[in-house]
Amino acid sequence: MSVDIEDIEDFRLRARTWIRDNLGPYVPETAAGLHNVPREEQLAAVAADRALQRALYEAGFAGIAIPANYGGQGLTAAHQHAFNEELSGYEYPSRFQAPTMSPCAAVLLEFGTEAQKKQHIPAMLRGEELWMQFLSEPSGGSDVAAALTTAVRDGEDWVLNGAKIWTTGAWWSDWALCLARTNWDVPKHRGLTVFILPIHQPGVEVHQIEMLNGAKDFCQEFITDVRVPDTDRVGKIDDGWTVGTRWMFHERMLLNSPYVTYPVGTARAGITTSPARIASDAGVLDDPRIRDLIGEAHTLELVSRALQERITTGVRSGKLSHQAAAIGRLFGGVTHVRAAAIAFEIAGSGGAVWDQDEHTAAAAGESFLMRQVSTIGGGTTEMARNVISERVLGMPRESAPDPNLPFREVPRSRGTR
């Protein structure tokens, strides 16, 4: 039976009217990011995002491409893209996009049970649940499959113990997807399982990590004897790597996810203020060398957007492997660093030392300080290079001493045993 779907242009006009009547302007300082702001201001911004997400839900613009039986609108990725284009320049619930909607909601839609999807997806869309990824570990570096956090079966429950790290925003979030080891007697990729767990509960300690710019959004979590019912397991036992590979795919394809509400053209690659605005405030807009830098930054943005669209189209059509998402991840990380360096160069001395009222110079300086985050978060660019060479280009795999060893026999430092 065919289902009538709203024409995209009709939807666009409806979205445009609602956005202009109900949303305020986009303010980079209040959007999700690694900002050094007082705790009270951060919590107020989180509460504002919850209210914005609820407003989208009540207006029929939350989960545009998510099936209606899970609280979404049941439309298409093209409808979501049209909404994102109309959203340019307006506020949006940034803290609900990554990782709540992608990769977390995307993973649940693909691997979750009906009960899990019906419990959590609508709550995400209503602004009631913010989700995080308990993925990286202090001992694992970029090797996600080397997880040491354990999950031991105890009747109808699992008991989790271990530590996770680099979880941006865990201290103000509600739920997490957690990758844990359930089998030590098989090679590392074959003994993992994914679980759902509430973050704020006995046995979960969340510690904030202070960064170079004073921000404390990065967190480390210590998990001690946390009981998780088997009904909160995502995917099959010991098959967490199957879930994990799609999890990382959704993470790499974030800005082209059909589940993410993100204003097209609002945020530049690697900086929160446009290079032209920085140049204008610094009084160097007429300098030919500065204009070349502005042009370079704009070109990087255009190429990045076109590349992501090309990868998305290729993956959806089957012409590209889903591993091609690593191409966008690598390009995004490299260009973020370059864009931050361009902004800093344009700002000149103001990017190193600025007065309290010099917001554009401060933005350029902080972006430069934090630029390498883009090559680490979401999987390092070194990992992306390996994925591209081995799984996209078909080059020989990097040699490893332990691909077939039971994980308990893999040599590890004394501190991680």
Q: Give 154's Cβ-side CA count (13 Å radius).
A: 12
Can you spell out the DSSP letters for 93-158?
A: -GGGIIIIIIIIIHHHHHH--HHHHHHHHHHHHTT---EEEE---TTTTT-GGG---EEEEETTEE
229 touches 89 (CB < 8 A): no
Paired tokens of 13: 């006009």
Average pLDDT, the chain: 90
Q: What percentage of residues in the chain have a pLDDT greater than 90?
A: 62
Paired tokens of 297: 């930054």
Confidence category of residue 379, pLDDT binned at 50, 70, 90: confident
Helix crossing, 8-22 with 77-86: angle to 10°?
40
Q: Which of 1-15, 182-196, 398-412 has the lowest mean pLDDT?
A: 398-412
129 touches 118 (CB < 8 A): no
Cα distances (angstroms) measured from residue 132 to each of 139, 197, 246, 362: 20, 10, 16, 29
Higher pLDDT among residues 328 and 16, named by residue: 16
In angstroms, the CA 326 to CA 251 distance is 10
pLDDT at 403 over 80: no
Q: How many CB atoms lie within 10 A of CB 277?
A: 18
Residue 162's H or E segment, with its range, is: strand 157-165
Domains located in the chain, CATH noted = 268-392 (1.20.140.10)
Question: Does 138 sit behind a cis peptide bond, omega within 30 degrees of 0 on the bond before it?
Answer: no
Paired tokens of 177: 């997807």
* Nearest of 30, 31, 34 to residue 340 by alpha carbon: 34
Paired tokens of 16: 């445009």
Q: Which range, 169-173, 265-269, 323-327, 388-392, is most confident?
A: 169-173
Can you spell out the DSSP letters for 310-339?
A: HHHHHHHHTSS-GGGHHHHHHHHHHHHHHH
3-state SS class at 207:
strand
Q: Which of 28-32, 147-151, 203-207 has the lowest mean pLDDT?
A: 28-32
Q: Which range, 146-150, 328-332, 413-417, is most confident?
A: 146-150
| Mean pLDDT confidence for 239-264 | 88
Q: How many CB atoms lie within 10 A of CB 107?
A: 26
